Chains A and B, each alone.
Chain A
């Protein structure tokens, strides 16, 4: 187990290094950040002064060396635009993204897994067919459209929910959350629902496919024969064996939602990470993009690690090596 963890850690460092190199190379094609922060009619002397202030007067390789050296000392660099540590900018916005993803993923799991089990166990019922058609909609409707429709109907027409923003928040140390206030919940429901639809549909379909496969197995018949209740059979024997692919997808979706909730965040003016990433790309703000993508890489590695651990709980025959 320890060996496995160390191996994963080394893997992660390698992935992070690759990400940083790619971003550095990529950003050398996206224009000169200095022109994003100074007035266009600046003179050569003023441009030189700005380069000096931003640390852009060295070659790309030297800048990369400075960046690597900084990382080893725990300094991830400063945003050219915000003039603040890039990591702080990200951490400041992380709680908002984190909580909307949490609500979305819980919502997705709570709705999708029971429906998936039902549809997988009773594939021929009309209600199952209805569920499956609805899930197709969930996959194919783009989230910006769903978000706009929810705002149009529930916020503008019927005035049931606010259209945007995060509402009242409570500070828990550095973590600012809206999940502890009624106003916060009022604000989070529409964006979380929008964000969850795609994942909900995918998990539902994966669960159903897994269940249909499992339900044909002999041990299900034996379980029934031995007198296990239908409910116990579906969830205890059926679902547990159908879970492996679902957990894999679940992990990937979780990472995906945190990293790229951008569209939903933009539509609902949700103060999360997505907006920062988009703005930083537009403004060629390399330090923020590097740290953001490295964070995403860490996130995926960690989630995959956890998924591997969960496999061993679900199926004791699996061991991590």
Chain B
């Protein structure tokens, strides 16, 4: 009897241990974001917090890795049937959160809905699409377009049944195929995501992810230090040293894709310049490029947390020209810049207005002020016209009737320079879908022809070659001065295995925590 009782007690305690340890195995993580998500419907809008949620809840056909490599997502393979027709084969047996199986008709439904939505731009290159059978989708592009898979990485597949059932409420009741399901969303307080056990790539390692929107950067840091958060997004520059010094935490930085660029007006007559526009002369543009000291900007204004731009797109992109560096072509050199100005016939400089935001990019207003004082050294008087982003993007928009000189950021998460070059450097008004953000009215028939060629080959290598030539010409022509890439700064407590993504979309599926 006593033996029996002892055994029973032993068994009971073993069961207790098993219970508690399985409890301890449930991993959860809390991440501090700068703002709450606005939508859970990926076709309703885009800003960073919503984007982060979208990629937890939904999947694209083509997946973009943390380092901007493109590979199979919901589509396990794809091939070109002819120059403009792509055939995508879906994975077998992918489940939505509600148990439905993903079918080609869901993809067709998603694209149809997208074309009619605010985000129609994501499908700008897609002409038509149809389901061939349950697992095969055919997508046609307007013209041969090699970067279609890259574009598809931004299109998240929704469930036709579910959307038709809930209608507009999809924004609050998302159902996708993604690694996480929505558990709870308390506006402005928290978003709780739970691992989806039917995820086709295997269940996530972290079972529960809580996102907390904390706008004030100092509070975000405090919440990390008190242990309320495991990871914070966008650590304030002034807190970097403090967090580094504190035991148990680390600061993680990564250059972002956002290239801060200065667009120069190339029209004969520019809105804020009296008389002829000096910037039509390449020498003047080169002088301005040489007068800007990006190293000082980085050190004095960005606290070292910026990377001077070598080109218009980062090295990972299609169209990046290996070995070409804007900073080596036009190093900071005031004397040389002055000489170029004199040679071009403007020894006394000229006056123009710089349009810039004051709440969109890191330290944007201070950067604009610094640019003004740098350009003053070559007698270019820069008047500042700073405004909040809600005014800015309408103000500078093409035909840019108010602007001569614009500072703005541009990122290309699709990893393809073509999408940027087509909208920014193609001659205005020549072709629908091209040149609509060509704010400086740059026009070079050679560039147009190369972009046309790039957009008429279905082969990526050829596209890359054409776009590299465009890069080379642009760097000589200088329709825009690239300044720097901001750095994304995160902090995490020790024990969290966290690597930031180039596209900033924190993805808990790639995270793990040690107990």
Contact = CB atoms under 8 A, between A and B. Distances in A.
A232 interface: no
Contact of A31 (B118, B395, B437): B395
Contact of B437 (A30, A38, A41, A50): A41
Given A37-B45, A163-B223, A165-B190, A275 B118 contact: no
Contacts of A268: 219
Interface in B207-266: 212-216, 218-219, 222-223, 225-226, 228
A271 B120 contact: no
A46 B39 contact: no
B436 A41 contact: yes
Given A38-B121, A148-B218, A165-B212, A272 B389 contact: no
B186 A269 contact: no
A126 B219 CA distance: 38
Interface residues of A, number: 54
B38 A82 contact: yes
A146 interface: no
Interface in A275-290: 275-276, 279, 281-284
Interface in B385-412: 388-395, 397
A5 B395 CA distance: 47
A260 B228 CA distance: 27
B318 to A, nearest CB: 17
A159 B226 contact: yes
A152 B394 contact: no
B119 interface: yes
Given A43-B121, A84-B171, A163-B226, A282 B390 contact: yes
B436 A43 contact: yes
B168 interface: yes
B230 to A, nearest CB: 14
Given A36-B390, A269-B212, A42 B121 contact: yes
Contacts of B36: 275
Interface in A96-111: 96
A82 B39 contact: yes
Contacts of B120: 42, 46, 49
A84 B170 CA distance: 12
A176 B393 CA distance: 38
Interface in A147-174: 148, 151-152, 155-156, 159, 162-166, 169
B218 A43 contact: no
A101 to B, nearest CB: 16
A43 B190 contact: no
B100 interface: no
Given A156-B225, A162-B226, A169-B186, A39 B390 contact: no
A30 B35 CA distance: 22
A269 B216 contact: yes
A83 interface: yes
A279 B45 CA distance: 15
B220 to A, nearest CB: 8
Contact of B390 (A31, A82, A83, A84): A31
A35 interface: yes
A93 B388 contact: no
A163 B215 CA distance: 13
Contacts of A32: 394
Contacts of A176: 186
A155 B220 CA distance: 12
A300 B225 CA distance: 40
A31 B222 contact: no
Interface string A98-138: 00000000000000000000000000000000000000000
A81 interface: yes
A216 to B, nearest CB: 47
A40 interface: yes
B186 A40 contact: no
B228 A165 contact: yes
Interface string B271-292: 0000000000000000000000
B168 A83 contact: yes
B187 A46 contact: no
Interface in A250-276: 266-269, 271-272, 275-276
B243 to A, nearest CB: 12
Interface string B194-218: 0000000000000000001111101
Interface in B91-133: 116-122, 124
Contacts of B219: 148, 151, 163-164, 267-269
Contacts of A272: 188
Nearest to A53: B118
B253 to A, nearest CB: 23
B345 interface: no
Interface of A: 30-46, 49-50, 53-54, 81-84, 92-93, 96, 148, 151-152, 155-156, 159, 162-166, 169, 176, 266-269, 271-272, 275-276, 279, 281-284
The 6 closest A-B pairs by CB, nearest first: A271-B188, A31-B391, A271-B189, A32-B394, A35-B393, A269-B214
7 contacts: A35-B397, A38-B121, A42-B120, A54-B118, A96-B188, A156-B222, A163-B228
Interface of B: 35-36, 38-39, 44-46, 116-122, 124, 168, 171, 186-190, 212-216, 218-219, 222-223, 225-226, 228, 359, 388-395, 397, 419, 423-424, 432-433, 436-437
Given A266-B215, A276-B188, 15 more contacts: A31-B390, A31-B392, A35-B393, A42-B120, A53-B117, A151-B218, A152-B222, A156-B222, A163-B219, A164-B212, A266-B216, A269-B188, A269-B212, A269-B223, A282-B388
